[in-house]
Structure 1
Amino acid sequence: MSEKKKLLFVCVENSNRSQMSQAFAKIHGGEAVEAYSAGSKPSGVVNPKAIAAMKELGYDLSTHESKSLQEVEQYAPFDAVVTMGCGDACPWMPAKRFVDWQIPDPKHMDPVAFNEVRDFISEKVKALLQEI
């Protein structure tokens, strides 16, 4: 990876899955990655469960903000746009590659199940970084 790869992670509320994906892209990709996240209908807040789950891994998600797609389109085009099962709610964004991950929304899950989704996202991000 000679030049930075730009990634955008999109879910509906931009409060859980896409936020954790952005964090893992920064963790696993380091300086080689520019990672962004957004929501098709952003909630305006990052879920405290997501903040707690990432804090367990030493990442401070409380510094993130829930954003709309309009707020991140200035960073396009992206090397990859990853959607999280939002289907028709996710509009098109300029990118070399589009990927849809069917990841359940952990919003109402207990901490153990939430962390299973978090760890699944971590593995998906690692695999994506190997592919691009």
Structure 2
Amino acid sequence: MTKQIYFLCTGNSCRSQMAEGFAKQLLPADWTVASAGIEQHGLNPRAVQVMAEVGIDISQQQSTLIDPAYLAQCDLVVTLCGDARDRCPVTPPSVKKLHWPLPDPAQATGTEDAQLSAFRSVRDEIKQRILALK
């Protein structure tokens, strides 16, 4: 039986997109994987860049809004920021929820290298958390 997982963030531009990319590669084939946001901020180019560094192409993924019908059918919903956790639509009791309070790499400041370092750090944390779901 297929399982559904949903990664939710505020803008569906960085963390949830990276999580979707890793989950599609690392979770068993019987999982349906999607990500969405409370708002649509577009796909962050640095997220695409740091995922490509580990061999995962997320460049064709789209920033989308939460689909209440998909959400209600999920086995697992993972929020990656407090905003998504607090503003996420109500889910049925059958839906397991996890919260991964990861910093938003898009908020990183400083040099290009410093900003990319923030994206890599969050990327690596997401990968470890997804591996732990298997």
Instruction: Bin the TM-score by the shorter chain.
Output: 0.7 to 0.9
* Alpha-carbon distance between aligned partners in 2 of 1:125 and 1:91, rounded to the nearest angstrom: 23
| SS state at 2:128 partner | helix
> In the alignment, which of 60, 65, 78 is matched to residue 62 of structure 2?
65
CA deviations on 1:3-58 (whole Å, 9 max, x unpaired) are 33210000000000011111111111141321000001121x10000000111111
CA gap 1:75/1:99 in 2 versus in 1, 3 angstroms: closer
Greater shift in the superposed pair: 20-29 or 88-97: 88-97
CA gap 1:40/1:22 in 2 versus in 1, 3 angstroms: same
| SS state at 1:125 partner | helix
Tell me which residue corresponds to 2:100.
101
* Alpha-carbon distance between aligned partners in 2 of 1:114 and 1:67, rounded to the nearest angstrom: 20
Q: Percent identity?
A: 36
Q: Cα RMSD between the aligned structures?
A: 1.7
**Alignment of 1:118 onto 2:123:** yes
Shift of 1:105: 0.6
Residue type at the aligned position of 1:120? E
TM-score (norm 2): 0.85
Tell me which residue corresponds to 1:48.
45
Greater shift in the superposed pair: 89-98 or 27-36: 89-98
TM-score (norm 1): 0.86
Tell me which residue corresponds to 2:27.
29
How many pairs does the alignment contain? Answer: 125
| SS state at 2:27 partner | helix
Residue type at the aligned position of 1:65? Q
The question of whether the paired residues in 2 share the 8 Å contact of 1:20 and 1:118 is answered with: yes
| SS state at 1:69 partner | coil
Higher Cα Rg, which structure? 2
